[in-house]
Structure 1
Amino acid sequence: MEDVNNISQDMSYGYYSKHFETSALITQVVTCIIICIGLLLILVAIYALYSLVRKDHVAPIYVINLLISDLIQLCCMIGWVAKPKDQKIDKIVILIYGSSLMASVCFMVCIALERYLVIACPLWYRFRRTIKISVMVCVLVWIISLVFLVTQVFCGFSEVTGTILAIFFLLPLPLLIFFLVGTLKALSASISVHTDEKRRIVGMLVLVLLIYMLLFLPRIIFSLTNAARPEMFFIIVESLSFLLFKLSPLADLVLYVFMRKGAIDKLLASVCV
């Protein structure tokens, strides 16, 4: 009887091991593709958006910082693909990746807030928006993510810290929904904003919410769920949710398209008709 149980356990271990290796291989291939595509496109997008900032446009500043955080994430992915032998380096890379994800979520909220103010409070926004204020907000976001990084390096990571971090990532959801709903309600009352600009703003808010819900939310829910899970289910969901995180740099590039006037206006006009 014991021999039968041992054979069963060996078969089960081999089954899980095979699926784990397959999942790891797929994840690594997709990660390499994301790195190759994302690095070049993000650098080009940052340069193009910087030219808009020099023309005294405030809106691209948050998108630029979001792309910079994506660039840091891609650099961390390169570290994972390289598979450093030193575990300390691996842990530091994970912490840097986590802090850059925090910055990404914060900048997504900043983008949504800034776009909401354009429609809901156009006069206030026109006279109060300055590059200096936007830069200060960006610096504050980076300081918050840096404090998290330093705290984890010296204090270590625990389950409580993981739960707090997951809750932090969950907080933007009601804000993003509020900004989108508030913008839609204020659209009819806004006269000073051009129709094409309104479509672009709403499109960007919808895109930010979709990126958050499709790429960030599954991992957050998975982290907050403490119920017992089958091992195979855990491996599959763990891999998929983490892979969605890795796709966020490519998804954020679409925000660059909404910052440029031209073809996107025609597409949005055809969708809204």
Structure 2
Amino acid sequence: MEDFHNISIENDTDGLEPYLSTTFFVTSCIVSSIGLPLTLLAIYALYSLVQENNVAPVYVINLLISDLIQMCCFVIWVAQPKNLIMFVVSGIIHSIGLMASVGFMVCVAMERYLVITCPLWYRFRRNIKITLVVCFTVWVLPLILGFLSYFILKFLQPHILLSIYLLVPFPLLIFFLAGTLKALSSSISVPLEEKRRIVGTLVLVLLNYTLLFLPTIIWYMSAAITENSAFDHTLQIIFVQFSPLMDLVLYIFMKKGAVDKLLACLCRCRMTTEQEQG
């Protein structure tokens, strides 16, 4: 990811080892082969759910588009092009997709939070135009950060800069989940299924971020603090690779009735297992 920014075309492939390893090759093939077709289907299905008074799918669609960008970069890396420029360009594009992905996670969590905590205000404020402006801002932020990084590299290491960007959403996601749970405990107007969908969305986003992004952030910060770039960060990169597959589960929480059907299916499977054991 960010290591690509530090690679010189004249140098050898130092720093590319994690992207050329067998483990990275296998996980890239798995994620791309499963994620690409399913993500395209999910985007198509979510597009039909977009309405003037239902803008949540717009954020999820943009999140899935950022995942598509990352998976396309996986395909390029698996092909292992001989031109090092291709690695560098795809690394920069992947970084933009990764940072946009984190931004849209915050948007999804914020939208669900506002639905519960500020229902009247949000009902009159939400519309497609505002949503599209927010999405545009999320896409532009990584570009601005990349532009500014060229001017502040003398004062701030790239690892620290990227770590700060990726770490900012963490307290926000915790705040949105805690605030939503507190508001739902005293809410009687929200249907039970809607509560499940909202809580499920927020828990999934926070879980995805904590399990897949936080280890990478910790590695970046430790590498910057110790000034040691010799750490093997293949495992952290692989964690982030599985993020697009986790994001696909958000589709379940966007469709009405999907959560209840999923819970009913799990209950039937559990009852069948108990009957077979009995």
Instruction: Say yes or no: TM over 0.5.
Output: yes
For 2:81, give the aligned amino acid. P
Q: Report deviation, 1:89.
A: 2.1
Matching of residues 59-208 of structure 1 within 5 Å: 59-149=56-146, 160-208=157-205
Post-superposition Cα deviations, 1:145-199, rounded to whole Å, max 9, x if no partner, equal 23345556x7797871221111110111100000000001101333332111011
The 1:28–1:66 alpha-carbon spacing in structure 2 relative to 1, beyond 3 Å, is: same
Q: Is the 8 A contact 2:60 2:250 kept in 1?
A: yes
**Kept in 1: contact 2:53–2:123 (CA 8 A):** no
Matched with 1:256 is 251
CA RMSD of aligned residues (A): 2.5
Distance 1:143 1:230, change over 3 A: closer
Q: Supply the distance in 2 between the matched residues of 1:221 and 1:109 (Cα, whole angstroms).
A: 19
Structure number with the higher helix fraction is 1
User: Is contact 2:163–2:217 with CA below 8 Å preserved after alignment?
Assistant: yes
The count of corresponding residues between Structure 1 and Structure 2 is 246
Residue 227 of structure 1 corresponds to: 226
Per-residue Cα deviation, 1:131-153 (whole angstroms, up to 9, x for no partner):
1111110011111123345556x
Distance 2:52 2:113 in 1: 22
- Tell me which residue corresponds to 1:33: 30
Q: Does 1:212 align with 2:203?
A: no
Q: What is the distance in 2 between the residues matched to 1:85 and 1:116?
A: 47
Residues 227-270 of structure 1: per-residue CA shift (max 9 Å, x gap): 38796xx32xx111100111001110000111112241254588
Unaligned runs of 5+ in 2: 1-16, 268-278
Aligned partner of residue 261 in structure 1, secondary structure: coil
Rg larger in 1 or in 2?
1
Relative to structure 2, which stretch is displaced further, 103-112 or 260-269?
Answer: 260-269
Aligned with 1:52: secondary structure? coil
Number of the residue aligned with 1:46: 43
SS in 2 for 1:187: helix
In 2, Cα distance between the equivalents of 1:157 and 1:102? 18
- TM-score where L is the length of structure 2: 0.81
> What is the alpha-carbon distance in structure 1 between the residues aligned to residue 178 and residue 66 of structure 2?
27
**Counterpart-to-counterpart distance in 1, 2:226 and 2:146:** 28
SS at match of 1:137: helix
Deviation per CA, 1:24-48: give whole Å up to 9, x if none. Answer: 1122011111111111000000000
Aligned equivalents of 2:125, 2:137: Cα separation in 1: 19
Q: Which amino acid aligns with 1:255?
A: L
Structure 1 CA distance for aligned equivalents of residues 109 and 255 of structure 2: 17
For 2:248, give the aligned amino acid: L
CA deviations on 1:200-236 (whole Å, 9 max, x unpaired) are 10011000000000000000001100338796xx32x
Shift of 1:56: 4.7
| 3-state SS in 2 of match to 1:84 | coil
Query: What is the CA–CA distance in structure 2 between the aligned matches of 1:268 and 1:120, rounded to whole Å?
Result: 26
Counterpart in the other structure of 2:3: none
Aligned 8 A contact 1:169 1:220 in 2: yes
Aligned-partner SS, 2:239? helix
Partner of 1:11: none
Letter in 1 for 2:243: S
1:243 alignment partner in structure 2: 238
Q: Tell me how far apart the structure 2 counterparts of residues 156 and 26 of structure 1 sit (CA, whole Å).
A: 34
C-alpha contact 1:95 1:149 (8 A) present in aligned 2: no
